[in-house]
């Protein structure tokens, strides 16, 4: 067997980053061709692994190799959204000869391991677990078929694989991490496997840290404790003992709360999220200290180097020319997918992220009459592009996507794209004039897409949620609509946010773009300068060592 312990990192660890960390994440957005991600959680993990490599940190990633990825988003024959599950094969991953067994629902399951060497994509080393092996029956193989399978038992089994299986892999490799970092609570079975080993909660707390990404109670996973017990989520510990060590006496098991009680430290992913998390979880006794580390994206991966080169040279003419060239590149993709020929001289708005109700992809349509007037304005014309992947069983979000598709058939300056993954995300950010973000305030833990958009000369217009209040100086480096009363009914919040958003767009942004291009360019340049270094993931990777690991 290859001695991966000797071959993990191609560098000597920097003095500040000697402590070994095992990072557990259900998804990693490392490269377009590696379909092990669904959304922002993966984008964050991918940027973290790149910065860990750049800073020479002693981190190992543990994940799952999904046979069908998340899913491939396609157009149906009428351009509405379709879902395709296509088998993925990766010749650049090393198929190891490591094999071991875990138990799921009291049945033996064989686990194989693939290795992503750091040299392939300049990341920390990542091990991917799979049950897609001929030794397993179909049910066991299906554990690693789909990221976030809609079947509850399949999701529980995936968590057992990531947590319990990940620990077993580290033991086989002869690696003893000083810190186990759970990126969300998916890998919580790791804590029970550690308890099975040490029989001491204090021993778990010495090494376990936790990042929570969900700022609302309903979004945090809760499961029937008896189902989890039956499937082996708790490493087959007696249920009374599980209730004792987690402090959860009810029949409904709160995954986030249990993790907060078993971890040494936890963090939210923006300053605002840290405050929301304190309000949400502070009422419970015996939770660990809860801080915040604002998310970030990897500058080296996301930023267009030519834009920054011209920015640093003070060459405004070349910067503007480069931005138009990037818009043309995006518009080629738009034309290929939709048949719409967009104009690089027209102000282009992009809304692109995971489709979820609180992100409000169609907020700009709240007042349809006003939206139609916006599109009909020939003096200050606009083009709008939407993209994003709903959860494949979220039929409400899919219906919103399809509504936008039908709207785009009426209006040639509106386009809806499929395949929102790393490649398309980069194209959209490079081609956008305005990056639109309008989540319902306090519902977005961080929302990092605007960071990498700013690194590509796209100006942000957003509600005051997640990371945005830490960055935006209104009218100087972006635009932030005034917050509305969160106590108002949802339909009234939507109405006020939509009105404020369109007021800002029509009364401030469009006049700047068309009538004062020099001022608009200054906002672009301010945005590009001020998004780094704080919102570069090198800062994030350093902060985790300083605030969470040491």
Cα distances (Å, whole numbers) of residue 424 to 88, 135, 345, 418, 432? 19, 37, 21, 9, 12
4-297 and 304-531 in the same fold? yes
Provide the β-strand partners of residue 222.
Answer: 254
Contact status, residue 260 vs residue 290, Cβ threshold 8 Å: yes
Question: Rounded to whole angstroms, how far apart are CA atoms 185 and 189?
Answer: 9
Sign of CA dihedral 233, 234, 240, 246: negative
User: Does the domain formed by 4-297 have CATH 3.40.50.2000?
Assistant: yes
pLDDT at 1: 59
Domain boundaries, the chain: 4-297, 304-531
Nearest CA among 28, 494, 481, 547 for reference residue 266: 547
Residue 240, burial from CB neighbour count under 10 angstroms (0-12, 13-18, 19+): exposed
Give the CATH fold of the 304-531 domain: Rossmann fold (3.40.50)
Q: Which residue is associated with the tokens 């049910």?
A: 139
Collect all residues with Cβ–Cβ distance below 8 Å to 231 and sequence separation of at least 6.
104, 105, 153, 156, 157, 160
Q: What is the pLDDT of residue 465?
A: 92
Residues 368-393: pLDDT tens digits? 999 999 999 999 999 999 999 999 99
Residue 290: closest CA among 185, 210, 216: 210
Q: Which of 219, 217, 216, 215 lies closest to 274, judged by CA?
A: 215
Q: What is the pLDDT of residue 497?
A: 96
pLDDT at position 247, please? 95
Output the CA torsion sign for 357, 359, 365, 367: positive
In b/e form, how buried is each residue of 87-97, taking b as 16+ CB within 10 angstroms? eeebeebbebe
Residues 545, 52 contacting (CB under 8 angstroms): no
Q: Which regions of the chain are under pLDDT 70?
A: 1, 218
pTM: 0.96
- Bridge partners of 180, per DSSP, are 22, 208
- List pLDDT tens digits, range 96-154: 999 999 999 999 999 999 999 999 999 999 999 999 999 999 999 999 999 999 999 99
Give CA–CA dist 362/414, Å, rounded: 12
| Helix, strand, or coil (residue 232) | coil
């Amino acid at each position: 067997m290859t001695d991966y312990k000797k071959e993990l990192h191609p560098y000597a660890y920097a003095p500040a980053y000697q402590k070994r960390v095992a990072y557990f994440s259900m998804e990693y957005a490392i490269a377009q061709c590696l379909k092990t991600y669904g959304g922002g959680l993966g984008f964050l993990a991918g940027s973290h692994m790149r910065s860990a490599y750049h800073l020479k940190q002693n981190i190992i990633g543990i994940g799952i190799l999904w046979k069908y990825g998340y899913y491939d988003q396609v157009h149906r024959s009428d351009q509405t959204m379709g879902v395709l599950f296509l088998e993925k094969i990766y010749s650049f991953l090393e198929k190891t000869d490591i094999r071991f067994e875990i138990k799921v629902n009291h049945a033996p399951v064989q686990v194989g391991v693939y290795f992503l060497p750091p040299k392939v994509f300049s990341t920390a080393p990542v091990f991917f677990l799979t049950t897609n092996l001929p030794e397993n029956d179909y049910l066991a193989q299906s554990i690693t078929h789909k990221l976030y399978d809609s079947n509850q038992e399949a999701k529980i089994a995936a968590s057992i694989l990531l947590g319990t299986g990940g620990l077993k892999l580290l033991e086989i490799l002869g690696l003893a991490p000083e810190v186990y970092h759970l990126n969300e609570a998916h890998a919580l079975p790791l804590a029970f496997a550690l308890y099975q080993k040490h029989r001491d909660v204090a021993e778990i707390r010495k090494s376990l840290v936790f990042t929570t990404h969900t700022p609302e109670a309903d979004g945090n996973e809760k499961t029937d404790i008896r189902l989890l017990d039956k499937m082996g989520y708790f490493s087959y510990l007696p249920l009374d003992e599980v209730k004792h060590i987690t402090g959860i006496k009810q029949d409904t098991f709160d995954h986030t709360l249990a993790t907060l009680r078993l971890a040494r430290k936890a963090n939210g992913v923006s300053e605002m999220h840290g405050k929301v998390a304190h309000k949400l979880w502070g009422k419970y006794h015996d939770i660990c200290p809860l801080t915040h580390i604002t998310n970030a994206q990897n500058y080296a991966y996301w930023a267009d180097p030519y834009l920054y080169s011209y920015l640093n040279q003070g060459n405004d003419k070349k910067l503007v020319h480069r931005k138009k060239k990037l818009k043309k590149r995006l518009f080629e993709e738009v034309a290929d997918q939709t048949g719409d020929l967009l104009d690089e001289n027209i102000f282009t708005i992009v809304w692109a992220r995971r489709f979820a109700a609180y992100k409000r992809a169609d907020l700009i349509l709240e007042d349809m009459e006003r939206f139609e007037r916006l599109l009909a304005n020939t003096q200050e014309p606009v083009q709008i592009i939407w993209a994003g992947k709903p959860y494949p069983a979220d039929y409400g979000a899919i219906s919103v996507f399809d509504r936008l598709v039908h709207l785009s058939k009426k209006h040639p300056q509106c386009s809806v794209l499929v395949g929102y993954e790393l490649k398309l995300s980069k194209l959209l950010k490079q081609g956008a004039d305005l990056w639109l973000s309008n989540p319902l305030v306090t519902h977005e833990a961080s929302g990092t897409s605007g960071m990498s958009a700013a690194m590509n000369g796209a100006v942000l217009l957003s509600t005051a949620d997640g990371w945005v209040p830490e960055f935006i100086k209104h009218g100087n480096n972006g635009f932030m609509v005034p917050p509305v009363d969160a106590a108002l009914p949802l339909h009234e919040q939507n109405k006020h946010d939509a009105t404020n958003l369109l007021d800002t767009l029509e009364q401030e942004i469009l006049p700047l773009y068309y009538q004062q291009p020099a001022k608009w360019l200054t906002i672009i340049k301010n945005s590009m300068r001020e998004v780094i270094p704080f919102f570069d993931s090198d800062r994030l990777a350093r902060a985790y060592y300083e605030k969470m690991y040491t």
